Amino acid sequence: MWFFLFTMLLVVILVAAIWMGRQAAEREREELEQRQQARQFKHRLEEINDVAQALITYDGDSLLLEAIGQFRINQIKSRLDILGEVEGDPNGELATAQTFLTELPETLEKQKSRLPDEEHELNQMKKLLFKGIKLIKLMQSHGEISDSEALDHARRLRIRLLKAEVNAYIQQGRSVLESGERSKAAAYFKHAKEMLVATSLRFPERASMIKRISRMIWGIYSSHEDGDELQEDLDLTEDERPDADESAEDIVARESASLATEAGTYQGQSETEPAPQAAAPRGAEKPGDTKQDPPADSPARKQQSTGN
Q: What is the pLDDT along the chain (308 residues), one digit of tens a residue?
A: 676 676 777 777 777 778 877 877 777 777 777 677 777 888 888 999 999 999 999 999 999 999 999 999 998 888 777 766 545 565 788 889 999 999 999 999 998 888 887 889 999 999 999 999 999 999 999 999 999 999 999 999 999 999 999 988 888 888 888 888 888 888 998 888 889 888 898 888 888 888 888 888 877 876 544 444 444 455 555 555 555 555 556 666 666 666 666 565 543 333 333 333 333 333 333 333 334 445 555 555 555 444 44
Q: One-letter amino acid identity for 301?
A: R
Largest CA distance in the chain: 120
Instruction: Determine the Cα–Cα distance for residues 162 and 305; give it in Å rounded to an integer.
Output: 20
Residues 153, 64: contact at Cβ < 8 Å?
Answer: yes
In terms of domains, do 109 and 158 share one? no
In terms of domains, do 218 and 162 share one? yes
Residues 86, 103: contact at Cβ < 8 Å?
Answer: no
Please compute, for residue 194, the number of CA atoms within 13 A of its CA located in the half-sphere on the CB side: 18
- Kindly state whether residue 131 falls inside one of the protein's structural domains: no
Closest CA to 255 of 165, 164, 167: 167
The pTM (predicted TM-score) of the whole model is 0.69
In terms of domains, do 62 and 148 share one? no
- Kindly state whether residue 76 falls inside one of the protein's structural domains: yes
Closest CA to 241 of 226, 219, 221, 263: 219
For residue 127, the tally of other CB atoms under 10 A from its CB is 12
- Kindly state whether residue 278 falls inside one of the protein's structural domains: no
In terms of domains, do 150 and 47 share one? no
Instruction: Determine the Cα–Cα distance for residues 138 and 125; give it in Å rounded to an integer.
Output: 20
In terms of domains, do 98 and 149 share one? no
Q: Residue 141's pLDDT is what?
A: 94
Instruction: Determine the Cα–Cα distance for residues 71 and 217; give it in Å rounded to an integer.
Output: 46
CA dihedral 184→307→263→282, nearest 10 degrees, is: 50
- Kindly state whether residue 169 falls inside one of the protein's structural domains: yes
In terms of domains, do 82 and 164 share one? no
What's the number of domains the chain is made of?
2
Q: Residue 299's pLDDT is what?
A: 53
Based on its alpha-carbon atoms, the radius of gyration of the chain, rounded to whole angstroms, reads 29
Instruction: Determine the Cα–Cα distance for residues 278 and 254; give it in Å rounded to an integer.
Output: 27
- Kindly state whether residue 101 falls inside one of the protein's structural domains: yes
Residues 163, 184: contact at Cβ < 8 Å?
Answer: no
Closest CA to 240 of 255, 223, 225: 255
For residue 41, the tally of other CB atoms under 10 A from its CB is 16
- Kindly state whether residue 283 falls inside one of the protein's structural domains: no
- Kindly state whether residue 120 falls inside one of the protein's structural domains: no
In terms of domains, do 246 and 145 share one? yes
Instruction: Determine the Cα–Cα distance for residues 298 and 281; give it in Å rounded to an integer.
Output: 21
Residues 219, 261: contact at Cβ < 8 Å?
Answer: no
Instruction: Determine the Cα–Cα distance for residues 223 and 231; give it in Å rounded to an integer.
Output: 11
Q: What is the DSSP string of 260-304?
A: HHHHT--------SPPPPPPPPTTPPPTTSPPPPPPTTSHHHHHH
Which 8-state DSSP code applies to residue 240? Answer: T
Containing structural domain, residue 109: 2-113
- Kindly state whether residue 287 falls inside one of the protein's structural domains: no
Residues 125, 47: contact at Cβ < 8 Å?
Answer: no
